[in-house]
Structure 1
Amino acid sequence: MLTSQELTAILRDNGYKVTPQRLAVYEALADETWHPNAEMLYNKLQPRFPAMSFATVYKTVEILHDIKVIQILNTGEDSYRYDANVEEHYHLRCLQCGAVDDATMDETAKQQLTQLVESQSGYEISGRQFYFYGICPKCRKIH
């Protein structure tokens, strides 16, 4: 993840003002792998920034995505999730509690799957994004 100084430089290089709120939104995403939506981010940051609006959070994640320091996840919910890890990796979503977690897959498996899709589709694959859905271990213990 980026340091505050690195993020500051990227924001300025792209013509954006550096504000404590923008830095805080990125830090909230970078600190954990919780993959929040904008409302979750707003609720987490509200105690520290009581004057910050939901619109500020939403605009900030759009800016951070535009400058390629976060990714936007569409896990099939009503709202997008956000992730400060911009390296290629995959996600799991619990269909019971809605948790979104990182999934790991070694490079050999990624290549094999990509080759299979290319051979069956005729496409030349230039990127990948996977979402897996199921019931998380915590929810499975409850039932």
Structure 2
Amino acid sequence: MIWNLLTAGICGLDYYVKEKVNTKISPGTRKEIAGGKLLLRNCHNDAMIFGTLKGQDKDIIRDASTMVLGGVIWEYFRNLHNDDSRTVRLGLSMALGGGLNNYMERRKKGYVTDYVSLNVGDKRIRKIVFNISDLFIFAGAAIWGYSMIFSKKTK
């Protein structure tokens, strides 16, 4: 039950933030936050992470997202009641919550709203814009992968 709540909470949190960003921040504007360490912006990403598949047909991007999300859902339900895999379930819940939010927005609007970037000197890093869902997808995948590689359970 807790894993479902975590997944829904992550999905709902980023949905709320994206709605605020889309109604309060004009595309193309930047606002320094967190003492100038972060930039808040409103970018509509019609590709995938880091611009992967940019310029491709939206059906290809949607289908690729569907396949990746389907794999995460499969693993999530496969491990949902496995008492030996709390770390696996944590990672999958985080990745699934972020993935569902990004997927639903892509299906509804044709893009994903990204709104945070690091305010650093390196222009290549400052150019990367992400959202809360992206952070949870990345962290969840890292936790999941770590737990699968370093699991003491033998198969």
TM-score (norm 2): 0.23
Relative contact order higher in (CA < 8 Å, ≥ 6 apart): 2
Q: Considering only CA atoms, is the larger Rg found in Structure 1 or Structure 2? A: 1
Higher helix share: 2
TM-score where L is the length of structure 1: 0.24
